[in-house]
Amino acid sequence: GPGQLWETVESNCEAAGVKVITDANVVEIRQKDGKIASVVYEDSEGNRTEMAADDFISSMPVKDLVNAVDASDQPAP
């Protein structure tokens, strides 16, 4: 099922040296020049972290993904 798929994706990403973050909620997706530039996620203790990267993979529901996208190219205050 889907769980096995994501376990395989996680394993393959880690084997390639990719940082995989689980058990976190994406609260904001920040764009720059029409591309995702960074995400802000909240861990299980409520700590928020912004992470910039060239590529992102998400397994979150599409409605949550759309709601998290910052429509502006301006950084949040």
Residue 18: CB atoms within 10 A of its CB come to 13
Cα distance between residue 37 and residue 14, in whole Å: 21
In degrees to the nearest 10, what's the CA dihedral of 64, 66, 72, 73?
Answer: 90
What is the pLDDT averaged over residues 28-33?
90
Q: How confident is the model at residue 28 (pLDDT cuts 50, 70, 90)?
A: very high
What is the pLDDT averaged over residues 64-71?
81
Name the average pLDDT for the chain. Answer: 87
Predicted TM-score of the model (pTM): 0.74
Residue 50 has pLDDT above 90, yes or no: yes
Query: Residue 45's pLDDT is what?
Result: 93
